[in-house]
Amino acid sequence: MIAVIDYGVGNLFSLSASLKYIGAQSEITADVNKIKNSSAIILPGVGAFADACKKLQNSGLIPVLREQAEEGKPMLGICLGMQLLFERSFEYGEHEGLGFIGGDVCPIAPDLKQKLKVPHMGWNSLIFKRPSPIYKYLSDGEYVYFVHSYYAKNCESSVTATCTYGGIELTASAERGNVFGTQFHPEKSGSTGLKILRAFSEIR
């Protein structure tokens, strides 16, 4: 059973439906024992970093997430859930993250070389940087769906894929050990996204 962490952030309908669609059992939960007994963990999230971080702290689940990550349980952070995995974020101030993956979360806008719209919203193609088990069913250049105004930086050694936007490369995914993060939404990325979720569900 994949535990989808319920800490009051975001709309989990699509994520649950897509896991069901690929035949993976999942449960939206904030129960420590269920999280401990799960086969894998997904940390979802939309909205602002500080707000989500506070909700996650209030949920009391950070210690169990840390323990599970250290034990090597497969963990996938999606969108803001991915950003939470890093050490800190500079979204409206400076905030501490979970620190499971080294790096910072910074605003896209000041880094763009061409003046383009922020949020970076829509379908962009993946450029693989190093092999990742979550991409085992993908070919180079497949498109995934992004909606974000901040991106992970200073995490080069963990980056598994990027995409280009406004003359720069944005971190599309990163991982350390069995902790994975995707800036894009696999549950909204059509058949490509389903292949990523399937590959994640097969990681042991």
Partner 1 sequence: MLAKRIIPCLDVRDGMVVKGKNFEGIREVESPVALAQRYNLSGADELVFYDITASAEGRALFADTLKAVASCIFIPLTVGGGINSLDDFDRVLKCGADKVSVNTGAIRDKTLIGRAAKLYGDQCVVLSMDVKRVDGKFTVFSHGGRVNTGISAEEWAYRGQEEGAGELVLNSIDTDGVKGGFDCEMLQKVCARLTIPVIASGGAGKKEDFLTLFQSVPQADAGLAASIFHFGEVGIGELKKYLSENGVHVRL
- Residue 119 · residue 148 · CB < 8 Å: yes
User: Which of 53, 79, 106, 155 is an active site residue?
Assistant: 79
User: Which of 91, 142, 175, 187 is an active site residue?
Assistant: 187
- Residue 185 · residue 80 · CB < 8 Å: no
* Annotation says 148 is catalytic: no
Tell the smallest beta-carbon distance from residue 44 to partner 1 (Å).
13
131-160 binders of partner 1 (CB under 8 A): 143, 145, 147
Based on the shown chain and the rule CB under 8 A, indicate whether residue 117 belongs to the binding site for partner 1. Answer: yes
CA nearest 20: which of 161, 204, 187? Answer: 187
* Annotation says 120 is catalytic: no
Q: How far apart are CA 185 and CA 147, in angstroms?
A: 8
Strand partners, 169: 164
Strand partners, 109: none
Based on the shown chain and the rule CB under 8 A, indicate whether residue 8 belongs to the binding site for partner 1. Answer: no
Query: What is the chain's Cα-based Rg?
Result: 16
14-53 binders of partner 1 (CB under 8 A): 14, 17-18, 20-21, 46-48
Per-residue x/- mask for partner 1, residues 158 to 197, rule CB under 8 A?
-----xxx---------------------xxxxx-xx---
Per this entry, what is the length of the chain? 204
Q: Please list, in sequence order, all residues whose beta carbon lies within 8 angstroms of the beta carbon of residue 197, skipping any fewer than 6 positions away.
A: 18, 19, 22, 24, 186, 187
Based on the shown chain and the rule CB under 8 A, indicate whether residue 121 belongs to the binding site for partner 1. Answer: yes
* Annotation says 185 is catalytic: yes
Report the interface residues with partner 1, using CB under 8 A: 11, 13-14, 17-18, 20-21, 46-48, 116-125, 143, 145, 147, 163-165, 187-191, 193-194
- Residues annotated as catalytic are 79, 185, 187
